[in-house]
Amino acid sequence: MSDSDSSRPTDPGSPPLQNSGLGGALWRVWVLACSTLTQLVRMKVFVFLILATLVLAAMAFAVVTFSPEEELKLIRDVALGSMHLFASLLAIAATAILLPRDVEDRTLYTILSKPVPRYEYLIGKWLGVVLLIGICLLFMDLFYSAILWWRQESLIQAQLAAFEAAGQLDAGLAEEVRTAIASQGLTWGFHSGAFGILLQGAVLTSAVLLLSTIATSTLFTILAGVAVLLIGHGQELARRYFLEGQVSTTMERLIATPVAIVFPDFSLFQSAADAASVGTGLPLGDLLRLTTIAVLYILVYKIAASLIFAEREL
């Protein structure tokens, strides 16, 4: 270590830092997000993702199907199911370890002792996880799109060849076969399903981050995150039960109301995946509505998390 007169690294109050205003805030959030993404990537998340994706894709081919449409639907279902599983796993596990670990390791002290407001730290962490989910979903979307396209084309060719061998093929039938199989193959609806899963992952991440501002351990956050996911998928039932007046007692009302208000309704986002599963996909208007709902959920959870975290003793 040198402390020579020529070195000036310790000179105080040197160049003014451009660190204020909205630009500075966005910059810090981006820095924190990139750091979070790097942290998660270096945990070998992608290796696990690639291996699991390959295994799941192989399993899709192993199942016996009776028609080309069934086979393509099965591949699509496996694709959407694995995307949903990965997005949920990452949203819960990755988010649950970030904040408690920073507190336990006191890394948080060195970050918050810089000119970084606590809410920027939370937004940065959230964005990092969402970026990771987005990259994973993009990879899986591309991978399964390629498989669907390849399988769809090979099935069309096989069907056409079979009709031609039977001497039944004409232009009209060829077009009919092509349309029928392609409707269950790679469509834009598949991508809208992936987008719905991304939105759900972003909402789940913000909910788990809110939990981790209250929790004192990673395990509790993970378990509570899983509970949020499960309740979120059953939330629609609770809301209907409450709104349609099927609640008879005060106790039932007391239980149903917080569930309907506090927990996110993941069935909304599931609708995008369901539509993709049957090969149609959601219309653009519905996707925009879904995006707006997701943004509202995220805002509410972010504000609550910021308020709690601002008061938290470190």
Residues that bind another protein (CB under 8 A): 1-3, 7-15, 17-19, 24, 27-28, 31-32, 35, 38-39, 42-43, 105-107, 109-117, 311, 313-314
Residue number with CB closer to another protein (97 or 226): 97
Toward another protein, which CB reaches closer, 216 or 246? 216
* Nearer Cβ to another protein (179/216): 216
Find all residues with CB under 8 Å of 9, minimum gap 6, and list them: none
- Reduce the secondary structure of 262-295 to three states and give it as a string: HCCCHHHHHHHHHHHHCCCCCCHHHHHHHHHHHH
In angstroms, give the least distance from the CB of 13 to another protein: 5
* 35/280 with CB nearer another protein: 35
Cα–Cα distance measured from residue 25 to residue 39, given in angstroms and rounded to the nearest whole number: 21
Nearest distance from C-beta of residue 101 to another protein, angstroms: 9
Q: How far is the CB of 311 from another protein (least distance, A)?
A: 8
What are the CA-CA distances from residue 1 to residues 4, 8, 9, 12 (Å)?
9, 14, 12, 19
- In the complex, the smallest distance separating the C-beta of residue 63 from another protein, rounded to whole angstroms, is 39
Residue among 225, 185, 244, 214 nearest 307 (CA): 214
Residue 280's contacts (CB-CB under 8 Å, 6 or more residues apart) are: 187, 189
Q: Which is nearer to another protein, 4 or 248 (CB)?
A: 4
For another protein, the closer of residues 112 and 247 by Cβ is 112
C-alpha span between 199 and 285 (Å, rounded): 15
Minimum CB distance to another protein, residue 20 (Å): 8
Smallest separation (angstroms) from another protein to the CB of 108:
8
- Quote the CA–CA distance of 177 and 179 in Å, as a whole number: 6
Q: How far is the CB of 7 from another protein (least distance, A)?
A: 6
Residue (8 or 285) nearer to another protein, CB: 8
Amino acid at 79: A
